[in-house]
Amino acid sequence: MKIEEIRMEELHSGKFIEQQVHDISSVVGSGIAINALSGGVDSSAVTMLGYKALGERLKTYFIENGLMRHDEPQEIVSLFEGLGVPVEMIDAQKQFFDALKGVTDPEEKREAITRTFYRDVFARLVRESGARYLLQGTNYTDVEETVAGIKRQHNILSQLGIDTEKSYGYTVIEPLIQLRKTAIREVAKALGLPEEIYRRPPFPGPALAARIIGEVTRERVGIVRSATKIVEEALSNTRAFQYLAILHEDRVTGVRKGQRDYGFQIEIRCWDSKDAITGAPTKLPYDVLDTLAERITAEVPGVVSVTYNITHKPPSTIEAI
C-alpha cells in the first residue's frame, strides 16, 4: 500500500490528533502498547498520541544509553511527568558501553547502538511488558529515504529478534508515517508539548556517539557532553538550524602552564539551513567564537584546541560521521 503524504497546507492538527487517537484506540482495544521515548519531536508526539488513546495501558520507556546530553534523560522524564504522562527510565549504560568497546568504524558504532537498543534492551522490555502493540515514530522522510535506498529498511520486529513466524500477534503502529518534520512539529505543539520539544533542533539517533570520531568510551562521551553543553548554551539564541560539538581522535599539541600538553581538539559546527539538504556555516561573530574556544579549553579537561567548521553542505554533511 502506497503511503500518501499529508502536506503542511492540508494538515489540520486538531483533526489529525483526533483521528490518530481514535485509530490507536480501535487497534489496541483493551490491549497493552509499548513505546520508547528519546525526547525527539517524533517519539514525543507518538508518546502523547498513545497516552491520549490508551492512558496507563501505554508503557513508555526512556532508555538511558549513557550517550545523551547533559541532564537530558532526567529532564525529559520530568517534562512528561509534568504533563501527566508516566515514563519509566531504564539504565542501560553498561550494555551500550560494552557493545561500543573498541569499535571505531562509524558504521559499526551505529550498528552496535541499534543492536543494543533493540535486541538487548528494548526486546526484554517488550517481552516483560506483555505488550502486543508497538508504537513507532516513523515519519514520511524515513519512508522516502528507505525507498530511495539512503536508509536501510528498519523492520522493528526483526530488529527485536521477533522473526517473521513469531511476529504473528505483534502489531506495529506508526501514527506519524504520513507527516514530514515540519508537520510533526505542528502536531507536537497542538498536543501540548512545550517549545523545547516541538522546536527541538535535530539530534542524531546515536546521540553523542555520532559526535565522537574514534572509540566511544564513558570518558570520551563526558568530554563531548561538556563541550556540547557549552556550545548549546552559547548558540541557542542564534537562529541557526543546528549546532554541535565533535570530539576528534587526532591529538594536537597545546601548552599549559608553560608545559607541552598533547591534548584533544573539539570541532564546532553551526549550520544555516532550511531543509538539511544544503547548508552554510553560520557567520558567528568572532567574540562568540572567542568565548566558545575560551570556555571549552578552560572547562573541558584535556581540550587544548577548538576549530569552527567553515565548509558548506555539500561537500560537507551536517554531522561528521
Which chain residues interact with a second copy by CB under 8 A? 106, 213-214, 248-256, 261-263, 267-268, 281, 283, 286, 289-290, 292-294, 297, 304-317, 319-321
* Residue the block writes with cell 550494555: 95
CB of 43 to a second copy, least distance (A): 25
User: Which residues, including other chains, have CB under 8 Å from residue 209's CB and lie 6 or more apart?
Assistant: 67, 100, 109, 110, 113, 216, 221
**147/310 with CB nearer a second copy:** 310
Question: Can you name the residues that pair with 267 across neighbouring β-strands?
Answer: 246, 307
**12/151 with CB nearer a second copy:** 151
Coil, strand or helix at 208: helix
Cα distance between residue 75 and residue 168, in whole Å: 37
Rg (CA), the chain: 21
CA distances from 267 to 1, 241, 305, 310 (A): 44, 17, 9, 11
CB of 110 to a second copy, least distance (A): 11
Question: Can you name the residues that pair with 256 across neighbouring β-strands?
Answer: 259
Cα–Cα nearest to 306, from 292, 285, 316, 321: 292
CB of 214 to a second copy, least distance (A): 8
**52/248 with CB nearer a second copy:** 248
CB of 46 to a second copy, least distance (A): 28
CB of 224 to a second copy, least distance (A): 14
User: Residues of 9-47 as b/e, b for ≥16 C-beta within 10 angstroms?
Assistant: eebeeeebbeebbeebeeebeeeebbbbbbbbbbbbbbb
**4/249 with CB nearer a second copy:** 249
Tally Cβ neighbours within 10 Å of residue 184.
23
CB of 313 to a second copy, least distance (A): 7
**23/319 with CB nearer a second copy:** 319
Cα distance between residue 241 and residue 266, in whole Å: 20
